[in-house]
Amino acid sequence: MRGPTAALLSLGLGCGCRPPTACEGGTNDVARSCVAERCSDPFVQLPNGGCDAPKSQIAVPPRTIFVGPSDWEAEGRVRPRTVSTAAFRIDAYEVTEARYFAWREPGRRVAATRLPVSNVSSAEAAQFCASHHGRLPSEDEWISAAVGDGQRRYPWGDTGAVCIRASWGKAGGQCGRASQTDAVGAHPRGATQDGIFDLAGNVSEWVTYNNGAAFDVAKGGSWRSPLATELRNWSRSEHPFGYRDRATGFRCAYDVK
């Protein structure tokens, strides 16, 4: 597995191939096609010349975790309980626009291939995962992946949510003013000890919540979160069925046989 710091190289670097009429020195005289630029680590080359995050999966071992009010902001908002999860695997990166639209609309040209897909409902996300031999993680599994072996407040540890660790507070908040996400993996200092990127911030992530509830649940906060509290591992947001917006995406989990 490549080191998290390598993802820093992906910021601001374009990748891909221009049409043959625009080739300048990168033309193959036989194929009359551009030679695609090498994708920056950790991204991989797509058949159309673009770049995408690798389809890396992280193994999460069986864990039993006590979930409770680990800080004063959680008091009255978190029901103390014990979470037990079996072994599973989970995507190291949020599902990107490149991956999602290659499945949903083959042949569609996606300009921002390395951004996490958003504007996807929980049902649509579950359908994508099922077609890739996976599923959405349960809320307990998401917590297990984020907390790890300890009782961390954030996926990276107990230290504060500064802008270098996650994409948050960008809608006029503490981390500037912007209107979209960052490339997946762009905040390696916010990765978990196991190497899972962007569990906090960027896009909040759909999870399954099997309790007869009449709503869907997303975890992790997003680029639009104004408060660091929304990035805590215990935090969650509830939405009506079919809800979608530009701050909510997903990643897939997989059973271990």
Return mean pLDDT, the chain.
Answer: 80
* Best CA proximity match to 175, nearest among 160, 196, 194: 160
Most confident of 19-23, 167-171, 173-177: 167-171
Write the DSSP string, 75-117: TTTS--EEEEE--EEEESSPPBHHHHHHHHSTT---S-TTSBP
Q: For 176-212, what is each residue's pLDDT tens digit?
A: 777 789 999 999 999 999 999 999 999 999 999 876 6
Contact present, 223 and 181 (Cβ < 8 Å): yes
User: Is 82 within the bounds of a domain?
Assistant: yes
Query: Where do we find the tokens 């990127």?
Result: 197
The pLDDT-based confidence of 175 (bands split at 50, 70, 90) is confident
- CA angle 37/47/22 to nearest 5° reads 50
Identify whether the C-beta of residue 185 lies closer than 8 Å to the C-beta of residue 201: no
Q: How confident is the model at residue 111 (pLDDT cuts 50, 70, 90)?
A: low
Q: What percent of the chain has pLDDT over 90?
A: 50
Q: What is the CATH number of the domain that holds 249?
A: 3.90.1580.10
Could you give the CA distance from residue 22 to residue 7 in angstroms, rounded to a whole number? 29
- Residue 108 placed within a domain: yes
Domain assignment of residue 58, given as a range: 47-255
> Which secondary structure element, helix H or strand E, spans residue 142, and what is its range?
helix 139-147
How many structural domains comprise the chain? Answer: 1
Can you tell me whether residue 139 is helix, strand or coil?
A: helix
Whether 131 is in a domain gets the answer: yes
In a domain, 96, yes or no: yes
Integer Cα distance of 163 and 177 in angstroms: 12
Residue recorded with tokens 């947001």: 237
Residue type, 73: E
Task: Give the span between the Cα atoms of 14 and 53, in whole angstroms.
Answer: 14
Name the least confident of 140-144, 151-155, 189-193.
Answer: 151-155
